[in-house]
Amino acid sequence: MLYHPRAFADYALNRGTSTIINDNLILLMHLEKKKALSFITEMGKGPSSLYWSSRVDAQTETNRENRLFTPQNLEDWINHPLVLQGGELSGWPRVIAGDDTMLHWIEQMKKGNKPMEGHLPGASEKTLSQLALLGVMSDHEAITGEEILRRLDAGYTTTLRHSSLRPDLPRLIKELEEAGIEDYSRFLLTTDGSSPTFYEPGVMDELLRIVLEEGVDPLSAYEMVSYNVARHYGIEDMHGMIAPGRVAHLNFLMDIQDPTPISVLAKGEWIVQEGRVVNEPEPFDWGAYASTQQGIDWDLQEEDMHFSMPMGIHLVNNVLLKPYHIDIDGTKEALSYDHDQCYFAMIDREGKWRMNTILKGFATQLDGLATTFSVTGDIVLIGKKKSAMKAAFAKLKANGGGIFIENEDENRRLELPLPYFGMMSDLEMEGVIDRHAAFVDVLKKSGYPHEDPLYSIFFFSSTHLPYVRTTAKGIYDVHKKSILFPTIMR
């Protein structure tokens, strides 16, 4: 989410979070397998312990899925020692419907004693039971105490989430206490890949603080981010306790009720002593990986700015999109500031196809935005003025990726280069937090009405969310699993 894994790991380590499990989706999308596996090996040589979760589906409708999720690719990921789990499994409806290929990958994970993480928002008791029988062992999508109890009853390890999209932890703990839960040995905690500014108060230390303030026994609370995690992922021989042969990640606290450590050891080396950072990790060398990226080698054409589709997409909250009937003239050079409808185009990163429509509910005074920050890495253009959208794209192309906003009002402009795969900044975490805050500020001034614009643009293509999505194949109806309007070849 704008930061890269080592930048986040170094920031988290100073606050006592020394072991992190990362999602490999961006690596699958942007690096060939050999480079990607080399990347995770090299990135793991820093002071933090960095592990990975391997996707078995793309979380979107893409023309490349059959090339990305091949048996040889996935087998090498699944068998890699730094890969601890499969998932998250956003394509679980395909498994229930009888997709033998996806079921095979779940079975392969189980053979390797690696759990499969679900993505099961709102799942019924029946669905949870079906997926438990098929091999799903854990899930982090519960948003009520009742949903948590359903997962426990189905035998799941249940992760309590507190994230920029779902800051639910205080309420979840209250509802668990009301339900009479006293044993927290099957619970973990997660921030679920939150937006940068969410981490200003801390990382797992902040989640621990919330749990402790809600009255959970301190031993149970600390085990949710240490031993419970190590046991679930089968790495308790390396992590999760202070004992011979374990990795020497140690936090020293002033008080058990204050989880932010005063001193931190990582892999036996001092990182923080008496509140002062004494060991700055070596910067990660991106040369061998960033250099493999292709720039944007095509230009916008006049027809790329044609918006004549009868059906638009309506952003009803941070991430949910519904279809709506377009009632404005999309042939004009600019749209009025008097409503919340903008031009929207998604164009293939390689310039092969495009999808144009009108987006409602995103902004009222946004002249032009261009970004490569999407699940697929394809280019998204949004705005009221076609000229400003073109200008934002020109800056995007010159920088090779990022988020660029053009407006007549200079207070509503932004340049946020993302040199790594068009997805990640080269700044340290503190710098990314500052740039993310500026991005949110610009969009709020432009009339963005929701809480998390970063996830809004990231998830336009994510088919694990209802109701419609903009994908490489066109506007996709998630419920009916059908294309409503196909993309146009350029």
Same domain, 201 and 316: no
Q: Compute the radius of gyration of the chain from its Cα atoms.
A: 23
Q: Identify each DSSP E strand in 162-310 by its residue range.
A: 187-190, 250-252, 263-266, 269-273, 276-277
Same domain, 436 and 332: yes
- What is the average pLDDT across 456-463? 94
Cis, peptide link before residue 88, omega less than 30° from 0: yes
Residue 292: predicted pLDDT: 63
Q: Work out the pLDDT band at 263, boundaries 50, 70, 90.
A: very high
Same domain, 269 and 360: no
* Structural domain contains residue 473: yes
Residues 141-179: tens digit of each pLDDT: 999 999 999 999 999 999 999 999 999 999 999 999 999
Same domain, 214 and 311: no
Same domain, 184 and 332: no
Output the pTM of the full model. Answer: 0.95
What are the tokens at 65? 């899925």
Report the percent of the chain where pLDDT is more than 70: 99
Amino acid at 408: E
Last residue of a domain, one of 263, 278, 293: 278
Same domain, 319 and 265: no
Cα–Cα distance for residue pair 470/6, rounded to 1 Å = 31
Task: Kindly give the residue spans of alpha helices, DSSP state H, lying in 179-305.
Answer: 204-213, 218-223, 227-232, 287-290
* Structural domain contains residue 292: no
* Structural domain contains residue 291: no
Q: Work out the pLDDT band at 366, boundaries 50, 70, 90.
A: very high
Residue 293: predicted pLDDT: 66
Domain range for residue 308?
304-489
Cα–Cα distance for residue pair 141/150, rounded to 1 Å = 12
The total number of structural domains that make up the chain: 2
Same domain, 246 and 317: no
Same domain, 60 and 140: yes
Does the pLDDT of residue 66 top 80, yes or no?
no
228-236: Cβ within 8 A, 24+ apart: 228/157, 228/184, 228/185, 228/186, 228/187, 228/188, 229/19, 229/188, 232/115, 232/138, 232/157, 232/188, 233/21, 233/51, 233/84, 233/85, 233/114, 233/115, 234/84, 234/113, 234/114, 235/51, 235/84
* Structural domain contains residue 285: no
Same domain, 58 and 188: yes
* Structural domain contains residue 357: yes
* Structural domain contains residue 84: yes
Q: Look up the CATH number of the domain holding residue 99.
A: 3.20.20.140
* Structural domain contains residue 29: yes
* Structural domain contains residue 287: no
Same domain, 314 and 274: no
Last residue of a domain, one of 230, 263, 278: 278
Same domain, 270 and 317: no
Minimal CA–CA distance to 472: which of 402, 393, 372, 379? Answer: 379
Nearest 5°: CA angle at 169, between 209 and 462? 125
Contact 3, 164 (CB under 8 A): no
Same domain, 138 and 207: yes
Contact 208, 251 (CB under 8 A): no
Residues 394-421: tens digit of each pLDDT: 999 999 999 999 999 988 999 999 999 9
What are the tokens at 276? 């002062």
Last residue of a domain, one of 278, 312, 340: 278
